[in-house]
Chain A
Amino acid sequence: MLRLPAFQLLRPATVAEATHMLAELGPQAAPLAGGTDLLPKMKRRQLQPRYLVSLRGLRELRGWSGSPEQGLVLRAGCTLAEVAAQPAVRSAYRALAEAVAVCSNPILHRMGTLGGNLCLDTRCTYYDQTEHWRQALGWCMKAPGPRTPEEVPCRVAPGGSRCWAVSAGDGAPALIALGAKVRLVGARGERVLPLEDLYRDDGIRYLDKSPDELVVEVLLPPADGLRSTYRKVRRRGSLDFAALGVAAAVRQDPDGTVTSCRLVLGGVASRPLVLEEVASLLVGQRLEQEVLERVSEAVYRAVHPMDNTDFTVLYRRRTAPVHVRRALEALAS
């Protein structure tokens, strides 16, 4: 059996208490929300925190407020199933509803949380393996076993100096396309930042936050006519992580002219890939075949996945423009 390593379980009563515990214990502690990403990683000894700070009992992290007209606030402890069922999300922020609905499977939807999904560890063929598998290969930079990261190469690009593990969450691309911000609370205060700024282009230090900071809220701006969708490529229709995620959000004039557009890809880089230049090709245009053709070509040039997830790297690169185009066609119709 794969068993968890021993740890101490701490149960703070408030977010403030949780952040102080995390600040005091430093890197030997980890927050525990739904546990659907953290606990498997601990069983495989990819992560071995000595303390888990449980966020499950914290009422401050549950529920939502606001509306599509004023903007919606989703607290980070909402389960993915709760987010998918939330009426305002379903009506006005479709990309998010569609993204969480295809995240993993229906049982894990009820366990996993929105905050946990946004902080999902990056993934890689050489990292998401049992301890014995990784030891047999001589470890990797992201989980160097008894060695230091400097002593072990990245198995995907051994000549380089960085880790290429992939951001494969479904929630982040959708929420970035929708213009969401996140509120972080740490032991020394709180801050609000655009969600895309939470992510770094680094497979190891993939979140730009200190260990004591918790994602407590997701802030969605007023929907204001924004139409959005999310598509996912994975081998099986249930469970699998995204080999490619495509989030698209557009605002159009009554005559169909695009006034603003956001395109964000998951599964192709260490952070959600915001395709700003590609999206700018659509502004001032209608979603017509000729424009979509140019957009497809630009997506192909902008996407450079590494060979470290499911499917061949060539397939993943070639399929990205196809799915961006299908997403935009869905929004055009």
Chain B
Amino acid sequence: MERAVRLKVNGQEHRVLVPPHRTLLEVLREDLGLVGTKHGCELGECGVCTVLVDGEPALSCLVLAHEVEGHEVTTVEGLATDGQLHPVQRAFVESGALQCGYCTPAMVLVTKALLDRVPEPSGEQVREAVAGVFCRCTGYVKILEAVQAAARRLREARA
């Protein structure tokens, strides 16, 4: 049954009429117009629909919009502040860590979640963090470099 759901996305409250079978991915893209979150396999395999729920990565294609009421959702649109890219986004641009760009929003978000938890990750921790998101341009080396560049950038900003 359709009901009004209160969603907090990128710090902003939204009230959306949603039936229970609609996923967070569908509501973000189709109701809120936040098309930075991509749809890929829609079966929980490719990871490109990743968003952060309470700061942790989650696959929005497998989360019901009704189930995230009361939780904080962050999409790639929520990272830049005052027109300035987030340090993780800047590191991806400067490292050339994208080709087609389709997996980039998810890669950026899993990187942010990792670096919020582990400011100085090992190579293994970085590879594990991005393991759930598939890049089909095979640009992983640049992506791993971008994560380390982002980590340095964030540490310098804190110092």
Contact = CB atoms under 8 A, between A and B. Distances in A.
Given A56-B67, A107-B57, A5 B21 contact: yes
Nearest to A54: B67
Contacts of A237: 131
A108 B1 contact: no
B21 A238 contact: no
Given A9-B64, A35-B63, A107 B20 contact: no
Interface stretch (A36-44, A206-214, A226-234, A315-323): A36-44
A315 to B, nearest CB: 23
B90 interface: no
B148 interface: no
Contacts of B132: 105-108, 238-239
A147 interface: no
A36 B44 contact: yes
A107 B50 contact: yes
B66 interface: yes
Contacts of B43: 2, 40, 43-44
Interface string B42-69: 1111010010000011110011101100
A108 B59 CA distance: 8
A106 B1 CA distance: 33
A195 to B, nearest CB: 25
Interface in B23-39: 23, 26, 39
A105 to B, nearest CB: 4
A205 interface: no
Nearest to B23: A4
B8 interface: no
A263 to B, nearest CB: 28
A83 to B, nearest CB: 16
A325 B82 CA distance: 59
A36 to B, nearest CB: 5
Interface string A20-63: 00000000000000011001100110000000101010000000
B140 to A, nearest CB: 12
B19 interface: yes
Contacts of A300: none
Contact of B20 (A9, A40, A111): A9
A140 B7 CA distance: 40
A6 B21 contact: yes
B42 A43 contact: yes
A43 B133 CA distance: 20
A105 B50 CA distance: 13
A110 B47 CA distance: 13
B21 A40 contact: no
B22 interface: yes
Contacts of A40: 43-44, 62
Centre residue among B20, B22, B63, B129 by max chain A CB count within 10 A: B20
B39 A1 contact: yes
B145 to A, nearest CB: 20
Contact of B1 (A1, A2, A8): A8
B79 to A, nearest CB: 18
Contacts of B58: 107, 110-111
A105 B62 contact: no
A1 B133 CA distance: 19
B110 interface: yes
Centre residue among B19, B20, B23, B62 by max chain A CB count within 10 A: B62
Given A8-B1, A111-B62, 19 more contacts: A1-B26, A3-B21, A6-B21, A7-B20, A8-B20, A9-B66, A35-B62, A35-B63, A36-B59, A40-B44, A107-B50, A107-B57, A107-B132, A108-B44, A108-B132, A111-B58, A238-B132, A239-B45, A239-B132
Interface of B: 1, 19-23, 26, 39, 42-45, 47, 50, 56-59, 62-64, 66-67, 110, 128-129, 131-133
21 contacts: A1-B39, A3-B26, A5-B21, A6-B21, A7-B20, A35-B64, A36-B44, A44-B43, A52-B20, A105-B131, A106-B128, A107-B47, A107-B57, A107-B110, A107-B133, A108-B44, A108-B132, A111-B62, A111-B63, A238-B132, A239-B131
